[in-house]
């Protein structure tokens, strides 16, 4: 039913002004109570999981998972292995903010079983980091990266953000060049979105001179594609670039609709026991999440059984995020229907508009299609 496990660690030293994720300030009592809740949720999940399942990836996301102690990380990995099984080359990723780790802690994370590190860099410009509300500076980023290499990490990803308030194309180029100079195995590139309900929304929704500009954002996206490709990175997904052989296996599973189980407050899951599947969402309020588990109940907020139409739409708009695109034969194997009989008219229009390209058995986004991906995806929803 699932081969991937996501553990949501919602705590941060402070919440960034742009962040719309389910995160909150680190409690004074530390994380032992929350780790105990995760262990209990995994136990309950295992009681309703098909025996013999093996995990292909484990992902600690947040929030700031690097606020966990190495012993807590080791315990969670060991518990997941005992309950669900673990493949011999299981990818185990931990997200870390540069200001929260040092060489000793990173070495302990590595010893605990973490074999892939994802650093939330965002920018190498301290003024932008301050604007974003990040709790680290550029020096700490470079130090964390160097410490991670010394600690034995040979698979490091970094996150970068563009279209920041008042950012120009030259500043973005400098960020990209500094990222390339570090030589990570993976770089994720995201444009800033101003989400309703965040401090950034209140601050920038009426400030047209500072709000991200669509044309500039497109230029920045294309610059990232050009510079990173020239540096040997494969642009394998709209927002993700990797050295050959270093794609994120966990995140690739999301786009390929592999089954995954999310544990933790507000975590999401996709369980696959047929072509359609079931999507689950955990309770988002910590008090309610904890109360359910303390009563021996799975902390589910919502369960959605996907229809075949839902699953077909997901197959397309998630699969098209990947540079590999989607294969017509794979669609027909999964759903028993001809791809062109269902979506032929939409495909013809999007190919004619230059947003999709058809090659033999595959359909892919063009670079223009990547820039306008939401418009493309809306045709299949």
Residue 291's pLDDT is 97
Residue 24's pLDDT is 72
* Full DSSP string of 148-160: HHHTT---EEEEE
SS3 at position 351:
helix
Of these ranges, 198-207, 275-284, 296-305, 332-341, the one predicted with the greatest mean pLDDT is 296-305
Residue 380's pLDDT is 87
The mean predicted confidence, pLDDT, of the chain is 92
Question: Can you give the residue ranges of every domain in the chain?
Answer: 4-254, 309-378
pLDDT band at 212 (very low <50, low <70, confident <90, very high): low
pLDDT band at 327 (very low <50, low <70, confident <90, very high): very high
Mean pLDDT of 179-201: 85
Mean pLDDT of 137-145: 96
Residue 133's pLDDT is 84
pLDDT at 206 > cutoff 80: no
Query: Omega of the bond prior to 63 within 30 degrees of 0, cis?
Result: yes
Residue 49's pLDDT is 85
* Full DSSP string of 267-323: -EEEE-SSSS-EEEEE-SSHHHHHHHHHTT---EEEEEEPPHHHHHHHHHHHHTTBT
- Beta strand 362-365 with 356-359 is antiparallel
Of 18, 79, 23, nearest to 286 (Cα)? 23
Give the span between the Cα atoms of 22 and 32, in whole angstroms: 19
Residue 257's pLDDT is 94
**Entry pTM:** 0.94
The CATH number of 309-378, from 1.10.10.920, 3.20.20.140, 3.40.50.300, 1.10.3720.10, is: 1.10.10.920
Dmax over CA atoms of the chain, in Å, equals 59
Alpha-helical (H) ranges within 6-98 are 32-46, 70-84
Dump pLDDT digits (tens) for 290-321. 999 999 999 999 999 999 999 999 999 999 99
The CATH number of 4-254, from 3.60.21.10, 3.40.30.10, 2.120.10.30, 3.20.20.70, is: 3.20.20.70
* Full DSSP string of 36-52: HHHHHHHHHHHTTSPTT
**Between residues 213 and 375, which one has the greater pLDDT?**
375
Residue 359's pLDDT is 87
């Amino acid at each position: 039913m699932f081969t991937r496990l996501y553990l949501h660690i919602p705590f941060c030293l402070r919440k960034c002004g742009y962040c719309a994720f389910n995160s909150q300030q680190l409690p004074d009592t530390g994380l032992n109570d929350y780790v105990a809740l995760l262990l209990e949720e995994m136990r309950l999940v295992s009681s309703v999981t098909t025996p013999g399942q093996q995990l292909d990836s484990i992902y600690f996301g947040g929030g700031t998972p690097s606020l966990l102690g190495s012993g807590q990380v080791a315990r969670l990995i060991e518990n997941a292995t005992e309950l669900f099984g673990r493949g011999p080359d299981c990818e185990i990723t931990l997200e870390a903010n540069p200001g929260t780790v040092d060489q000793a802690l990173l070495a302990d994370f590595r010893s605990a079983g973490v074999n892939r590190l994802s650093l939330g860099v965002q920018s190498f410009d301290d003024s932008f980091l301050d604007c974003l509300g990040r709790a680290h500076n550029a020096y700490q980023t470079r130090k964390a990266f160097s410490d991670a290499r010394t600690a034995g990490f040979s698979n490091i990803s970094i996150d970068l953000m563009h279209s920041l308030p008042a950012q120009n194309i030259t500043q973005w180029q400098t960020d990209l060049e500094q990222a390339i100079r570090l030589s990570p195995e993976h770089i994720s590139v995201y444009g800033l979105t101003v989400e309703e309900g965040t401090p950034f929304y209140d601050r920038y929704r009426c400030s047209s001179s500072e709000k991200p500009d669509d044309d500039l954002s497109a230029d920045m996206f294309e610059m990232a594609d050009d510079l990173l490709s020239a540096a040997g990175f494969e642009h394998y997904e709209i927002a993700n670039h990797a050295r050959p052989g270093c794609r994120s296996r966990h995140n690739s599973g999301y786009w390929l609709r592999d089954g995954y189980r999310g544990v933790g407050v507000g975590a999401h899951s996709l369980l696959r026991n047929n072509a359609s599947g079931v999507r689950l969402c955990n309770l988002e309020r910590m008090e309610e999440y904890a109360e359910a588990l303390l009563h021996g109940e799975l902390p589910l907020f919502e369960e959605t059984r996907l229809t075949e139409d839902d699953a077909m739409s997901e197959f397309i708009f998630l699969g098209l995020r990947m540079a590999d695109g989607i294969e017509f034969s794979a669609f027909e194997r999964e759903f028993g229907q001809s791809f062109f009989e269902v979506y032929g008219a939409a495909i013809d229009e999007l190919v004619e508009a230059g947003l999709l390209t058809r090659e033999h058995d595959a359909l892919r986004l063009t670079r223009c299609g990547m820039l306008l991906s939401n418009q493309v995806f809306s045709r299949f929803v």
